[in-house]
């Protein structure tokens, strides 16, 4: 077996971490260790939406055929319906928009896709470890000596580069923020409490009722319901419901998510468990009281919904520091209103793998490679994070110019809904019109230019030689 030029540690075995490992497995001279905190590789959540931008990454990684077996895929460039929209926060709702896009949106069951990725980790240079919850790491500076990882079970390990794919409550993010602060990096916040806040996600002011409804049950109660044949969003003031079909182990299911927003509480502490079971059905029904009958009928079919509080990441001046970087939710946990959280993690994974697999990437040039990753991925991901936030405000009629609250003139509402739909599409076009190849080329060009000039540095002010 070819000797490894360096060892990569990936903390977190979710969709982002596994995609990164699969992408790295194409480089036999890179050793990879995946450390998962749980005692088995599992994935929380129900569905994943995969836009053409992400599907093209799957194709580049040789995974497209597998994705097609997990969900319906439309040919690139061919228009396909994505979502049907209704205004529903009133006794009689009405249709107002159908979103169709080139390439459509492929709906996957999250656990099935996660298992599909896990099954692809057959290469000898990739080793998986479970029950390994990282508590801290030590990164020597400026020496290129190995990074030491410390786990909750008292064991340690080493690596040459550490990638945090450990979710929105990331231990690696917390450690990296502290490292940057100790090194004098301008974090754009007040000392003390502000630094601690940067380590943790913040509540978005949004909660979501989540459930999976078997088609078989839905057909008995609501035969020929629209949600079984077309993904639908029911919009209303300060809340909306999204549902679409997915398949798990041959069983057809309806992924049901009902959001309630308290926009004025964004950034305040959330009191209660972040994922709660056995919640009051009365609270669930009360959140959508007064909505149209079609919505009420669906709510009656939902049993034992989970209540999730939706937390998001606070902006950082860099996703990388020296030989440590974060990706996915650890870097940019976002609201799910553009169906792009998993897709952005896959963007991160693909870009990082291309940079680490570059022939000029060695232990000494790793900080420069991670700097190029940060310079390209951070602005893009933070822009999508902002667009997702705005989409949620549009869906819930919170925009001051597009308020479609109950009451008022219906013709005026329809005009505002038309304007809202146009704005929604403008904000979303990146998902089916952009491709990652140009971003990867830019990142590789930055890396090659920096290494070629002979000015490789071991990270400067947390930006590793590139401006934020």
Q: Flag whether 165 is in a domain.
A: yes
Q: Flag whether 83 is in a domain.
A: no
Domain membership of residue 125 as a residue range: 6-72+108-201+313-389+434-452
- DSSP 8-state class, residue 294: H
Res 403: pLDDT: 66
Q: Flag whether 394 is in a domain.
A: no
Q: Flag whether 292 is in a domain.
A: no
Give dist(CA 432, CA 428) in Å, integer: 8
pLDDT tens track for 91-101: 999 999 999 99
Give dist(CA 449, CA 455) in Å, integer: 9
Q: Flag whether 302 is in a domain.
A: no
User: What's the CATH code of the domain at 175?
Assistant: 3.50.50.60
Cβ neighbours, 10 Å, residue 364: 14
Phi, psi at residue 47, to the nearest 5°? -125, 160
Phi, psi at residue 189, to the nearest 5°? -145, 165
Q: Flag whether 56 is in a domain.
A: yes
Residues in the chain, pLDDT under 50: 455-468
Structure tokens at 11: 């903390």
- Pick from 233, 242, 292: which is nearest to 86 by CA? 233
Rounded to the nearest 10°, the torsion over CA 396, 398, 403, 407 is: 60
The answer to whether 355 touches 450, Cβ cutoff 8 Å, is no
Q: Flag whether 397 is in a domain.
A: no
- DSSP 8-state class, residue 346: H
- DSSP 8-state class, residue 225: -
Count up the domains in the chain and report the number.
Answer: 1
Q: Flag whether 242 is in a domain.
A: no
- Pick from 329, 331, 373, 380: which is nearest to 352 by CA? 373
């Amino acid at each position: 077996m070819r000797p490894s030029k360096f060892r990569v540690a990936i903390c977190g075995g979710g969709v982002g971490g596994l995609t990164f490992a699969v992408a790295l497995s194409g480089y036999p001279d890179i050793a990879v260790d995946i450390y998962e905190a749980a005692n088995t590789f599992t994935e929380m959540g129900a569905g994943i939406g995969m836009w053409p931008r992400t599907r093209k990454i799957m194709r580049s990684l040789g995974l497209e055929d597998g994705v097609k077996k997990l969900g319906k895929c439309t040919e690139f460039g061919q228009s396909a319906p994505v979502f049907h929209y209704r205004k529903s926060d009133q006794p009689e709702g009405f249709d107002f928009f159908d979103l169709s896009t080139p390439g459509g949106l492929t709906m996957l069951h999250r656990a099935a896709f996660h298992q599909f990725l896990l099954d692809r980790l057959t290469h000898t240079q990739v080793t998986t470890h479970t029950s390994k919850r990282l508590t801290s790491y030590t990164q020597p500076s400026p020496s290129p000596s190995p990074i030491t990882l410390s786990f909750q079970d008292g064991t340690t390990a080493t690596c040459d580069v550490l990638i945090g794919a450990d979710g929105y409550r990331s231990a690696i993010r917390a450690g990296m923020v502290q490292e940057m602060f100790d090194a004098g990096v301008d974090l754009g916040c007040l000392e003390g409490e502000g630094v601690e806040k940067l380590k943790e996600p913040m509540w978005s002011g949004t909660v979501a009722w989540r459930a999976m409804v078997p088609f078989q049950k839905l057909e008995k109660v609501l035969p020929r319901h629209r949600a079984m044949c077309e993904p639908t969003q029911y919009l209303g003031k300060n809340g909306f419901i999204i549902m679409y079909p997915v398949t798990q182990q041959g069983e057809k299911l309806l992924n049901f998510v009902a959001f309630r927003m308290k926009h004025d509480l964004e950034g305040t502490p959330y009191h209660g468990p972040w994922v709660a079971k056995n919640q009051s059905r009365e609270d669930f029904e009360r959140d959508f009281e007064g909505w149209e009958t079609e919505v009420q009928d669906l709510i009656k079919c939902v049993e034992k919904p989970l209540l999730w509080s939706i937390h998001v990441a606070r902006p950082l001046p860099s996703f990388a520091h020296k030989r440590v970087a974060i990706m996915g939710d650890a870097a940019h946990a976002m609201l799910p209103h553009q169906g792009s959280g998993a897709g952005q993690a896959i963007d991160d994974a693909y870009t990082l793998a291309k940079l680490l697999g570059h022939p000029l990437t060695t232990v000494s040039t790793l900080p420069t490679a991670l700097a190029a990753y940060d310079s390209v991925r951070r602005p893009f991901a933070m822009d999508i994070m902002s667009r997702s936030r705005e989409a949620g405000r549009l869906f819930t009629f919170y925009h001051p110019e597009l308020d479609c609250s109950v009451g008022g003139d219906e013709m005026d509402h329809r005009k505002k809904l038309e304007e809202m739909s146009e704005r929604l599409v403008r904000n979303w076009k990146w998902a089916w019109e952009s491709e990652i190849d140009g971003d990867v080329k830019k990142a590789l060009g930055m890396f090659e230019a920096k290494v070629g000039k002979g000015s490789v540095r071991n990270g400067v002010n947390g930006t590793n030689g590139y401006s934020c």
